[in-house]
Amino acid sequence: MLAIETIQQRIQGLDFHAFENNPILVESVIYQLIVIGEAAANIPQDIKQQAPELPWRQMIDMRNVMAHAYFRVERDIVWETACNNLTPSVQPLRDLLQNPLIEQ
């Protein structure tokens, strides 16, 4: 959740032009996407099954692309992911984190 919130805070009020012309911000968002994917990869399958609406595989795949193809990462894809693909995951993640069996 913290990585999603960090991304949302950092891009709030920006447009793509401002984002793509700020390499520190781009790198920060890429790093947070890697964190999200790494976390998703380390969540046990039985926990993932409690929130099947979350795009677990896509989170992991995005992490792999960001971590292993860094110099080929398209900034527009990073922007699109940050702007449109994270928000739908917020409430399901919050619900999942309410489970007392899940360590935070």
SS3 77: helix
Catalytic status, residue 63: yes
Pair of tokens at residue 64: 């792999």
Among candidate residues 68, 72, 75, 94, the one labeled active-site is 68
Among candidate residues 17, 63, 72, 94, the one labeled active-site is 63
Pair of tokens at residue 71: 């110099």
For residue 26, give the nearest of 72, 75, 80 by alpha carbon: 75
Instruction: Give the residue numbers marked as catalytic.
Output: 63, 68
